[in-house]
Amino acid sequence: MDHRSTENLYAVVAPGLEKVCAAELSALEITPQEVTVGGVAFAGRLRDIYRANLWLRTASRILVRFAEFRSRDFPDLYRRAHRLPWGRFIQPEASVSFRITCHSSRLNHTTRIAETLESALNQALGRSTNPVGDNPQLVMVRIVDDQVVISIDSSGELLHRRGYRQSVTVAPLRETLAAGVLMLLGWNGTTPLADPMCGSGSFLLEGALLARQQAPGLNRSFAFMNWPGYREGLWKLLCGEAQRGEVDVALVISGADENPKAVAAAKENCQRSGVAGQVVIDQLPVSEQLLHEGQGLLVCNPPYGKRLDLGENPELYYSELGKQLQRAYPDWRLAMLCSNPALVKATSLPFKQIASLDNGGLTVGLFTTDSQ
């Protein structure tokens, strides 16, 4: 891809985090053009594609809107697709996979659509087959009311994979969701942060990276690195700038969990991402956690829903949890991610819901007491 051309871009975002992602783009001095359910449209050049992948904490992937046209039959789809400049994004030897969705359209046979696009692409690239290979270049195709939109994925592995978390426990949060929750709560890395039921440590880690102003994409690779004309020098320059902008963090980020495996996983993850010096993690149930004086933000994601068993009486569990949090963090602002408002109510804490989010297909509310 020519580094001077301006492309239509789209950050795919989990429901509920779109506005936070738009604010992240603005902070990068990239103007969000349209915020829709599931994403943010913006325009930019190659440099912006690299920066969006490097910096956005809440986006799942960054797409380049490659082509848009109306089509209602397969010969027409082939004709149009075959004329597209695929070679701007796809090397002749690259493996390509297609992800197709269709609604209310004459073209609705997803396998045949993929086959048609694949042979058009092969012909355009002057090759006879699409080679099988690891990490194929993803092409996303959406057909709605006969309007075909073809997008090229620039990210590769989803962006929540920051490259540091290998140890997980039950029901870990995606890093994109954990970062988004902190941003929705307006936490900017200057006040203490705690997660008393930290599991594998998503809030703690994302909090530490945010506080340090560390770019989340520094330690991984991206699909755009396999495009023709990949500008390694530009990428390294952007990474160098990001590293030089990191700040020292004096505040305490603390976590705990009653489960020793969770504590071990959280510690390993902190070690791997280089924030172990900033994060203190204890193996303790909430009922035994020390008194936290002063103020700060407590954020937690207690067990809920079908995935984690709360025993016979979940309300009683939440009611006890409410008392324990109040005792150990009396003057802190409290925030909780939970799928069941009745359980949040059972804590008897003055929680208000400020967002509705998606956690692995389950709708969860973000509840918080007033900020202090």
Ligand X SMILES: C[S@@+](CC[C@H](N)C(=O)[O-])C[C@H]1O[C@@H](n2cnc3c(N)ncnc32)[C@H](O)[C@@H]1O
Interaction site with ligand X (CB under 6 A) = 169, 171-173, 197-200, 202, 257-259, 262, 285-286, 301-303, 308
Q: Specify whether the CB–CB gap between 187 and 295 falls below 8 A.
A: no
Q: Specify whether the CB–CB gap between 208 and 277 falls below 8 A.
A: no
Q: Specify whether the CB–CB gap between 64 and 49 falls below 8 A.
A: yes
Which one, 77 or 182, has the nearer CB to ligand X? 182
Nearest-angstrom CA–CA distance, 358 and 110: 26
In angstroms, give the least distance from the CB of 291 to ligand X. 16
Nearest-angstrom CA–CA distance, 96 and 86: 11
Which one, 171 or 252, has the nearer CB to ligand X? 171
Which one, 151 or 269, has the nearer CB to ligand X? 269
Nearest-angstrom CA–CA distance, 357 and 17: 7
β-strand pairing of 7-13 with 59-70: antiparallel
Which one, 219 or 324, has the nearer CB to ligand X? 324
In angstroms, give the least distance from the CB of 161 to ligand X. 14
* Nearest Cα residue to 21 out of 6, 7, 8, 36: 36
Nearest-angstrom CA–CA distance, 334 and 194: 10
In angstroms, give the least distance from the CB of 311 to ligand X. 11
In angstroms, give the least distance from the CB of 170 to ligand X. 6
In angstroms, give the least distance from the CB of 17 to ligand X. 16
Sequence-separated (6 or more) residues with CB below 8 Å from residue 99: 138, 139, 140, 141
In angstroms, give the least distance from the CB of 166 to ligand X. 13
* Nearest Cα residue to 224 out of 24, 68, 47, 92: 47
The helix/strand/coil state of 68 is strand
Which one, 152 or 198, has the nearer CB to ligand X? 198
The helix/strand/coil state of 334 is strand
In angstroms, give the least distance from the CB of 351 to ligand X. 17
Nearest-angstrom CA–CA distance, 289 and 292: 9
Q: Tell the residue number behind the tokens 């603005």, with chain if given.
A: 26
What are the CA-CA distances from residue 222 to residues 6, 7, 227, 245, 297 (Å)? 20, 18, 10, 22, 33
In angstroms, give the least distance from the CB of 70 to ligand X. 44
Which one, 180 or 302, has the nearer CB to ligand X? 302
Q: Which residue is at the shortest CB distance from ligand X?
A: 199
270: its two tokens: 């902190």
Which one, 180 or 199, has the nearer CB to ligand X? 199
Which one, 136 or 172, has the nearer CB to ligand X? 172
